[in-house]
């Protein structure tokens, strides 16, 4: 069966900031050509090395508001002072082309996506081994102030309380082990 003869299913990776979901997502994208990243939109400024249209669509507040009014998002939310959203058009374009869209999103948005797509989506919650490890990872980024670090850690505690709502939980203590566990989860999903 080729890509145009089937509709892809959605893979949703969920994790607190700093748990490693973006690194794990990139590994999936490198290994599986049938999985494509669904680029989200945000009002936050780009980080060093991020590319417009690849990492995110970087929008100003007015552009983002117009897109909300036009129902362009599957979900959107405020996070650490910025808005983030999953574009319905990005996901639909990939699904209709037979790809498996990969969504790298936060808990609230992931729950909304799962409600919309039901069994056409599989969700994996990436958990840090501990809050201390998460704190170290966030500090290592070098992009957090004491205030933003505190907010991210408070948010992470709340998000981890929702882990049970997702299909699978993978603890990212060792990147290679976590990646192999994710591969084991998604392979039957993308080959059925």
The ranges assigned to domains in the chain are 3-191
Known binding positions: 15-22
Q: pTM for the whole thing?
A: 0.81
The string of DSSP codes covering 12-41 is EEE--TTSSHHHHHHHHHHH-TTEEE--EE
Task: Please state at what angle helix 131-141 crosses helix 146-160, rounded to 10 degrees.
Answer: 140
- The pLDDT value recorded for residue 28 is 96
CATH superfamily of 3-191: P-loop containing nucleotide triphosphate hydrolases (3.40.50.300)
Q: Which parts of the chain register pLDDT below 50?
A: 1-6
Residue-wise pLDDT for 27-69, tens only, equals: 999 999 999 988 889 999 999 999 999 889 999 999 999 999 9
- The pLDDT value recorded for residue 7 is 56
- The pLDDT value recorded for residue 135 is 78
Known binding positions for ATP: 15-22
């Amino acid at each position: 069966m080729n890509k145009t003869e089937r509709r892809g299913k959605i893979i949703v990776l969920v994790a607190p900031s700093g748990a490693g979901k973006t690194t794990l997502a990139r590994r999936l994208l490198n290994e599986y050509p049938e999985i494509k990243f669904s680029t989200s939109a945000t009002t936050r400024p780009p980080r060093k090395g991020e590319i417009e249209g690849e990492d995110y669509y970087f929008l100003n507040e007015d552009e983002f508001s117009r897109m909300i009014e036009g129902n362009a998002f599957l979900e959107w939310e405020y996070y650490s002072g910025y808005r983030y959203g999953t574009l319905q058009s990005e996901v639909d374009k990939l699904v209709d082309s037979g790809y498996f869209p990969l969504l790298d999103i936060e808990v609230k948005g992931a729950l909304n996506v799962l409600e919309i797509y039901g069994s056409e989506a599989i969700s994996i919650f990436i958990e840090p081994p501990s809050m201390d490890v998460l704190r170290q990872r966030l500090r290592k980024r070098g992009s957090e102030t004491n205030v933003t670090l505190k907010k991210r850690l408070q948010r992470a505690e709340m998000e981890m309380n929702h882990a049970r709502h997702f299909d699978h939980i993978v603890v990212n203590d060792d990147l290679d082990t976590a990646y192999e566990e994710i591969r084991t989860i998604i392979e039957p999903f993308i080959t059925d």
